[in-house]
A and B are shown apart, each in its own frame.
Chain A
Amino acid sequence: MSTTPLPTDTAPLPEARPADPWRMPAPRPRGAVSEALLAALEGSPDDARLAPVTDALEEARIDGPDGPRVVLGEDAQLALLVLYELHYRGVDGVDDGWEWHPGLLALRSRLERPFEAALRARVPQPAWDGTPADAAGVAARLFALAAEDDGPSLSRYVAKKADAAQARELLALKSVYQLKEADPHTWAIPRLSGAPKAALVEIQADEYGGGRPGRMHAELFAQAMRGVGLDDSYGRYVDAVPAVSLVAVNTMSLLGLHRRLRGAIVGHLAAFEMTSSIPSRLYGNGFRRLGHDTDTTWYFDEHVEADAVHEQIAARDLAGRLVEQEPVLRDDVLWGAALCLAVEGDVAAHALERWQRGESALGRPLATA
C-alpha cells in the first residue's frame, strides 16, 4: 500500500463534533502513512510506537527520487497537517505531550525535506530585477510580482457565476486555514526584531481584531460559515478538503515553523495581503448576489479595507525593512511571495476546474444545509 487518492466512498461527513471543540477532530486516514500516524498518536508519547509510521514512509518511498511527488499526495499531506496541528490547537484525542516528541519530530522532518524540495521544484526562485534592495525597491518588486500573477480568478467566478452549493464549498475549502487565520505568520514574530517586527505585530494585531474578539478575522470567517449553513467548529471539514488545499496550509506551517525560512514566511504574507482586497470585494459581491446578508459578507467586506492597509505595511515596513536588515534574506522573501501565489493559485485552479465540469471541488460532499 502506498499513497491513495481521496476516499472514494461518497458518504456525507458525519455530524459528530469532537469531544473538545477547540481542537481539530481526528481526521480519517487517506493512506498507509496517515493511518499509521493516527494510530500511533492514539497512544501515549511516553510509550511511543512509531515503527509502523517509519515502515509506511519507507514503503511510500518518501526518501526516494519520487519523494517530492509522493509528499504532495493526499496521504502525506494529511500526515503533515496532523503533525503541524500539534503546534496549533492540537488534535482531538491526541496527547499534548506528542508536540515535542523527538521521534515524532524526526518523522516530520522526513516528510518536510521532500515537501520543501517539491515546493522548490514547483516554484523556482524568482530573479531579482536589479531594483535597489531597499524597502521601497523590495515593495515595488513584490507588488510587481503579485501584479504579474496570471493564475485563474476564483473570486471573479464566485462574483458572477457560483451557485449556493459552490459558495458553501468555497468556505469549506478555505476553512482549514481561515479558522486559524493569521496563526502561521505569527510564528515569525519572535524571529524578527526592530522595524519589521513592529510591522508584523501591527498587521497581526489587526488580524486578531485589535483587542475585540468579535472582529478577529477567524471569527468573522466562522460567522460567514454559519451564514451559509456550515458548521463553524475548528477543523470540521478537514476530511472534505483535498490535498491541493492541504498543500497551501502546510506551506504556511512549514515556512512559519522554521526560523531559517523567516524571509519566506514574510514574503508569503506580503503576497497573501496583496492578492486579497480586490478578490475580497468580488467574493462579497458573489455572496450578496446569492442573497446573503451583511453578517455573512462582513468577512469579505472587512478584508477589502483591512488588506489594503496590510499590503502596504507588509510590502515596505515588513518585507522591505527585513531585507534592509538582513540582505541575505532578499531571495527568500521573493520566493515566499511567489510560492504563496503558486499554491493559492493551485487551489483556485482546482476548484474552478471541478466546478466548470459540474463537479464538487471537495473530496467528500457536504451534508445538505
Chain B
Amino acid sequence: MTIQGPPDDVTVTACPDGPLLVRGPATILGPDGEPVPRNRATVALCRCGGTAIPPWCDGTHKVNGYRSGPDAPAGDGGDHGGDAPRPRE
C-alpha cells in the first residue's frame, strides 16, 4: 500500500497499540494500485493485521493482543507526535 500526497498537508500518527491515523489529502492505493474510496476526512489504517475491513481499522487490535512496541522519542515537531516514521540521522 502506498500513501501519496503533499507532505506538508498529510500527517500520519502512529497510535500506541493501535492504527495509523491519516489526516490530510492522502490518496490511499490498494494492492491493485487503485485509490481506495475515502469516506471521511481522517481515516485509521489497520496496523495489527486483524481488521475485517482492510485497509481500515475496525478496533480489532483491542481484542487480539496487538502491541506496537515502545514509542519513538517525542520532540520531532510534528503536530500529532507519536512514533511516526522519520529519517534516521
Residues of A within 8 A of B (CB): 136, 139-140, 143, 147, 202, 205-206, 210, 215, 277-278, 281, 304-309, 311-313, 316-317
Q: Which residues of B contact A307 (CB under 8 A)?
A: 59
The answer for the CA separation of A48 and B6 in the assembled complex, in Å, is 61
A308/B57 contact (C-beta < 8 A), A147-B62, A206-B40, A278-B62 known: yes
Which A residue sits closest to B16, measured CB to CB? A136
Query: 19 A-B residue contacts at CB 8 Å?
Result: A136-B16, A139-B16, A143-B62, A202-B42, A206-B41, A278-B58, A278-B59, A278-B60, A304-B52, A304-B58, A305-B56, A305-B57, A308-B57, A308-B58, A309-B43, A312-B13, A312-B15, A312-B19, A317-B80
Q: Do A304 and B41 have beta carbons less than 8 Å apart?
A: no
Which one of A140, A147, A215, A306 has the greatest number of beta carbons of chain B within 10 Å? A306
CA distance A313 to B59 in the complex (A): 13
Interface flag for B1 (CB, 8 Å): no
Is the beta-carbon distance between B41 and A136 smaller than 8 angstroms? no
Closest to B44 in A: A309
The distance from the CB of B82 to the nearest CB of chain A, in whole angstroms, is 8
Known A136-B71, A305-B53: A313·B42 in contact at CB below 8 Å:
yes
Is B21's beta carbon under 8 Å from chain A? yes
Contacts of B58 in A (CB 8 A): 277-278, 281, 304-305, 308
Is the pair A308, B19 in contact by a Cβ cutoff of 8 Å? yes
User: Chain B residue with minimal CB distance to A203?
Assistant: B42
> In the complex, which residues of chain A have a beta carbon less than 8 angstroms from the beta carbon of B40?
206, 210, 305-306, 309
The number of A-B residue pairs with CB atoms under 8 Å apart is 62
Q: How far in angstroms is the closest Cβ of chain B from A267?
A: 18
CB < 8 Å: which of B17, B42, B71, B80 contacts A309? Answer: B42
**Cβ of A305: which chain B residues have Cβ within 8 Å of it?**
39-40, 44, 53, 56-58
List which B9-47 residues lie within 8 A (CB) of chain A. Answer: 13, 15-19, 21, 39-44
Option from A139, A140, A206, A316 in Cβ contact (under 8 Å) with B42: A206
Chain B interfacial positions (CB closer than 8 Å to A) = 13, 15-19, 21, 39-44, 52-53, 56-60, 62-63, 71, 80
Bound-state CA distance A202–B15 (Å) is 17
In the complex, chain B residues whose CB is within 8 Å of the CB of A205: 41
Q: List B contacts of A317 (CB < 8 A).
A: 80
Check if B41 sits within 8 Å of A311, measured CB to CB: no
Question: How many Å from the CB of B16 to the closest CB on chain A?
Answer: 7
Are A308 and B59 in touch, CB under 8 angstroms? yes
The CA-CA distance from A136 to B18 in the complex, in Å, is 12
Complex interface: chain B residues within 8 A of A206 (CB)? 40-42
A182 to B50, CA, bound (A): 29
Q: Give the Cβ gap from B66 to chain A, nearest Cβ, in Å.
A: 12
Q: Smallest distance from the beta carbon of A332 to chain B beta carbons, Å?
A: 23
- Bound-complex Cα distance A249 to B41 (A): 28
Q: Report the nearest A residue to B22, measured CB to CB.
A: A309
A residues in contact with B18, CB < 8 Å: 312
Complex Cα–Cα for A67 and B80 (A): 46
